[in-house]
Amino acid sequence: MTINRPKDSSSEFSANSGSEISKDRKVDLQGNAQNISGRDSGKGSGKCPTKLTTNVKAAGCAAKMSSHELKQILAGLPKVHDPNLLSSITNFEDAAVYKLNDDQAVIQTVDFFPPVVDDPYLFGQIAATNALSDIYAMGGTPLLALAIFSFPTCDFPLSIAAEILRGGADQVMRAGAMVVGGHSIQGSETLYGLAVTGMIAPRAMLTNGGAKPGDAIVMTKALGTGVSLLALKAELLADDERAMLFSSLTTLNNRPLAVLKGVDIHACTDITGFGLIGHIHEMTKASKLAAAIKVSALRFLPSCLELAREGLVPAGSYGNRKSFESNVSYINDLPLEVSDLLYDPQTAGGLLFAVAPSDLDEVLGKLHGDRIEASHIGQFLEGIPGHIDIMVN
């Protein structure tokens, strides 16, 4: 895959990723995986990391705190009430939305994480794609972005930092928005992301809580970025598999919403660190409904099932399983590698839509007609709020 970058850009860094291999699994990485335990700053030993992901314990959205942990932390925060606050941390919405007037509302979101690849420009692109996604999930348009950046200046040349920031800024420009500032610190680990501001008409705002009984669930991008990024770090992906992974990680989520303009979308969210199960759980709980997922309709990135079967599963998948398994029925009837992928933390994942059954053919037709991958993967049902049934056949 050719990484889209300005002609004067150059980098000697190869595109490999970092994530944590769960201690619960044993897997032969043929000596290719980096040592990701501990930290070597290079001071005193004369050694410095040669790759951005060398000392990364968990990369991308696999580095997110689990939903179980977040609930404990957020429980003590003061509740906020404002008639103009249309969306906030309630129901784990993708972003905050504040009404300015009857025609305008501002959307605010933030996202950052450790490197998923060693190419600094590509890392910047991926992090920006992921941060922008929350704006699209709310139905909005990004306007401005501020960079959030931690960089170990003693370990890497400043040219690497510049490439990360440039990759992010270029991706934001492709989205029609602008990076207008930010904040940086020196740290022991590289972290990059964006605080993004967008706009939406209040009447057009999408949330994860508007699904109706019988609504079809439509998913865009294929699943499996967590597993694939772990395999990438271990140098186990073929060239075509790397190309498909990078394409997925740098594809903005703006096109599906543009193509579906005029269609009545009842609810929407993006699939990120909590995996498919976690984000459908959030939609069902917010909508006070249950859901059923058709496993046969799910799409995975190439070789993900085989890689997961061999034990290349990020630790974030186990955190998601712990957080959400009590809300899922029949998932243990699946092969372990399939259930692992349903919990797999996604970086720059796709969108989930809830649409009326009568609109399903139109939705899929429009998406496929614009060459956007999409599948009907299940439906929302009357039932225990937040509960998910896995349909094996």
- Give the catalytic positions in this structure: 61
- In the β-sheet with 351-355, what is the strand arrangement from edge to edge? 265-270, 351-355, 216-219, 375-381, 290-294, 388-391, 328-329
> How far, in Å, CA of 144 to CA of 42, rounded?
37
Hey, is 169 helix, strand or coil? helix
Q: Is 55 helix (H, G, I), strand (E, B) or coil?
A: coil
CA pair distance 61, 197, nearest whole angstrom: 20
> Where do we find the tokens 């899922």?
328
Identity (one letter) of the amino acid at 34?
Answer: Q
Q: In whole angstroms, what is the distance from residue 161 CA to residue 245 CA?
A: 23
**Pair of tokens at residue 331:** 């998932």
Can you name the residues that pair with 329 across neighbouring β-strands? 389
CA quadruple 370, 130, 284, 329: dihedral positive or negative? positive
Helix axes 239-249, 225-233, angle to 10 degrees: 130
Please give the C-alpha separations between residue 380 and each of 295, 342, 388, in angstroms, as whole numbers.
15, 17, 9
Q: Residue 393, Cα to own-chain centre: how many angstroms?
A: 28
Report helix, strand or coil for 257.
helix
Helices (H) and strands (E) in the chain, counts: 11, 13
Distance CA 274, CA 299 (A): 17
d(CA 313, CA 21): 6
Q: Residue 351 is encoded by which pair of tokens?
A: 């969108």
Q: Is the dihedral of CA 232, 46, 151, 319 positive or negative?
A: positive
Phi, psi (5° rounding) for residue 171?
-70, -40
Distance CA(16)–CA(69), nearest Å, equals 29
Cα-based distances in Å from 20 to 11, 53, 212, 289:
25, 11, 38, 34
